[in-house]
Amino acid sequence: MDALHYAAARPVMTLLTAVFTPFQPDGGLALEVVERQADALAAWNCPAAYVGGTAGEGASLSTAERMLLLERWCEVAAGRLDVIAHVGHTSLAEARTLAEHAQRTGVRAISAVPPYFHRPQDATAVAEFIARITEAAPELPFIYYHIPSVTGVTVPASAVLEAARDRVPSFAGIKFAHGDLADFQRCLRLAGDQHELYFGNARLVLAAVGLGARAAIGSAYNFAAPLFLRMLEHVERGEREAALECQLRAQDAIDAVSGHAGELAGFKAASALVGPDCGPCRPPLGSLDDRQRDRLRADLTRLGLLGATPGATPGPAPGPVRVAGEVAG
């Protein structure tokens, strides 16, 4: 099978977007919005959409809904950007069904979290579970999704890489949505040029670049792509202080967005201010009310994120806005 070459798209780092699932006010799928989401990504040359992951609320969708969503993404993305399908599930049978469907639908790659209810206790168990999933889609590269803050699976990603790369013929890399930079550095050393590491913590992208990361997947790029693209341009030109200022402003924006009704609800609302409106989150997650949306708009305006276009220079940096929270894609 062909290797994934996203890292070659930019001199420093390529950004892939973990997209939201659009919902109607009553919670049903709003598939008519997907084309506008793809248009928004194509406008700033995003090479791929990661569908049905944490940002896509994949665990809150039925298998039938995940299939319909993926089919729509493949329809509207054809010829413009790749689709990476998250097929992770607590049920191995369902994960295999999703993987087989993804291969038939025409995605570029599949990805999965480990099972997060009855959890694997070591890297060998993770690798065995991955192997069983990939048997259903042997033609597709597989990206392991490491996000222990959500799954509760704390097996180091580096241990999974060592256990899976020989056990899983289609193993292509890891989506690393964690803040353990020491483990990420071990993964980079183990991966070499054979596998790709997709960094998934938007707060630490600049640090990951410094360690040698060449690609990232995240949901913050739905609303803050211009700021991250500018940061990478500064890195490419050797402008370290300017790059750091962009990263710090991104952290402030993430904190501000997460502080109104939770991270995912805030991210979806922020994205609606600059692009397609993907509607509310599904329960048990909440959504922003009108007052919170007004405050969010004010925060993003103050931080210079509203009115920007991809590649544009963000406005002057305001004082920091600090609200606790973490980011994953």
Q: Where are the alpha helices (DSSP H) in 237-311?
A: 240-258, 263-274, 290-302
**What is the model's pLDDT at position 1?**
53
Say what the pLDDT of residue 319 is: 39
Question: Is a pLDDT exceeding 60 seen at residue 320?
Answer: no
pLDDT attached to residue 2? 58
Which structure tokens are listed for 281?
A: 């989150």
Of 215, 211, 229, give the one whose Cα is nearest residue 50: 215
Residue 219: both structure tokens together: 């949901």
306 confidence band (pLDDT: 50, 70, 90): confident
Active-site position among 6, 50, 175, 221:
175
Q: Which CATH architecture has domain 9-224?
A: Alpha-Beta Barrel (3.20)
The per-residue DSSP string of 12-65 comes to S-EEEEEPPPPB-TTS-B-GGGHHHHHHHHHHTT--EEEESSTTTTGGGS-HHH
Confidence of residue 70 (pLDDT cuts 50, 70, 90): very high
Average of per-residue pLDDT values in the chain: 92
| Residue 219 contacts residue 267 (beta carbons within 8 Å) | yes
- In this predicted structure, the answer to whether residue 312 has a pLDDT above a threshold of 60 is no
Tell me the residue type at 148. P
The reply to whether 145 belongs to the active site is yes
For the cut 50, the answer to whether the pLDDT of residue 315 exceeds it is no
Per-domain boundaries in the chain = 9-224
Q: What is the mean pLDDT of residues 121-128?
A: 98
Query: What does the pLDDT read at residue 326?
Result: 38
Q: What is the pLDDT of residue 6?
A: 76
Indicate whether 325 pLDDT > 50: no
Nearest to 72 by CA among 90, 55, 52: 52
Q: Name the amino acid, one letter, at 329.
A: G
Residues 247, 318 contacting (CB under 8 angstroms): no
Q: What number is the average pLDDT over the span 267-280? A: 96
Q: What mean pLDDT is predicted for residues 190-206?
A: 96
Which is more confidently placed, 193 or 125? 125
194 pLDDT above the threshold of 50: yes
Q: Greater confidence, 239 or 4?
A: 239
- Calculate mean pLDDT across residues 190-210: 96
pLDDT at residue 321 greater than cutoff 90: no
What is the average pLDDT across 288-313?
Answer: 80
Give yes or no: 144 in active site. no
Region 57-63: mean pLDDT is 98
Instruction: Give the pLDDT mean for 41-62.
Output: 97
pLDDT, position 307: 61
Residue tagged active-site, from 144, 145, 198, 221: 145
92 CB-near residues (< 8 Å, 6+ apart): 115, 129, 132, 133
CB atoms within 10 A of CB 10: 18
- Return the pLDDT at 323: 29
Residue 329 has pLDDT above 60, yes or no: no
